[in-house]
Amino acid sequence: MDPVQHKLYHVHQFHSRNFLDTYCANKPGMIFEEEGIKLPMEKLHYYFRFANIEGGLMIDLSIGPVFFHLYSACEYFREIILLKFNDHCIIEVKRWLHGHTGAFDWKHTSSFVAEKEGNSSQSEEKDKRLKAKIKHVLKCCIDKENITDPLQLPPADCLFIGLVLDVVSKDKDEYIRNLKLFTKLLKPDGHLILFGLLHATYFTLDGEKFHVLEYDKSFLITALEEEGYSIRHCEVQRRRKESDLSDFKAVVFVAARKEEED
């Protein structure tokens, strides 16, 4: 029997703007504003600032048409490539990237980061700077050994995974397999930054439940270490509000380094 009882993120289509309106908008009643928006931006702001991470290329694999967590990253990497599983998400990101009419308003996120950096009046400049750093928004697929086939991307100095492993992996074996696939995007001695949901089974969009793989912190750390990562930082924050949008119990933030093979 198929262990997945809900829709699959990378298989079943969804409305990308509805995703943003549900989880990312600047409006009252955003249940997961703390865990889903502010926490990733805060953690990346402080981690990049104090961990001395920088380089030429950062590759981002994040759920939905989001990129707001990259405002801080654009200060430390020369180029950023976004990989998305959904065509509608690519269209949504490019609408913002090229300044098209009807693009989603991300001012609340750029303002948040600008304030963290002590330059609250520079939110528009943050927006322009990130747009300049994003060089490509590409389709990817986990059914291929090279997830960007036929394109071969250069190895990244830093790989960011934002909830994607949780929603594209049907079971723990697939999670480990997909982690191996994603790791191929990272150069030896490169940095991995990962956000995940602990003890979750679904998230909701447009009244439909989408699959989330249920796992705990111990499973995640073991999977990363067995793939050759050295854990530099791991932090868990429990959810603060109840909602039937998702049943996750906590958010986990991990920073790790891919050890060079002997």
Q: Greatest CA span in the chain, whole angstroms?
A: 55
Q: Is the Cα torsion angle 145, 149, 154, 158 positive or negative in sign?
A: negative
What pLDDT band is residue 1 in, cutting at 50, 70 and 90? Answer: very low
Per-residue pLDDT of 40-95, as tens digits, reads 999 998 888 888 888 899 999 999 999 999 998 888 999 999 999 999 999 999 99
Question: Considering the entire predicted model, what is its pTM?
Answer: 0.94
Q: Radius of gyration (Cα) for the chain, nearest Å?
A: 17
- 3-state DSSP helix/strand/coil % of the chain, to nearest 5: 35, 25, 35
The crossing angle, in degrees rounded to 10, of helices 107-116 and 123-133 is 100
pLDDT confidence bin for 188, thresholds 50/70/90: very high
Least confident of 101-115, 160-174, 189-203, 228-242: 101-115
Q: How far apart are CA 92 and CA 79, in angstroms?
A: 20
pLDDT above 70 as % of the chain: 97
Give residue limits of the domains in the chain.
16-258
Class of domain 16-258: alpha beta
Site of tokens 């009643």: 29
Mean pLDDT, to the nearest integer, of 148-174?
Answer: 96
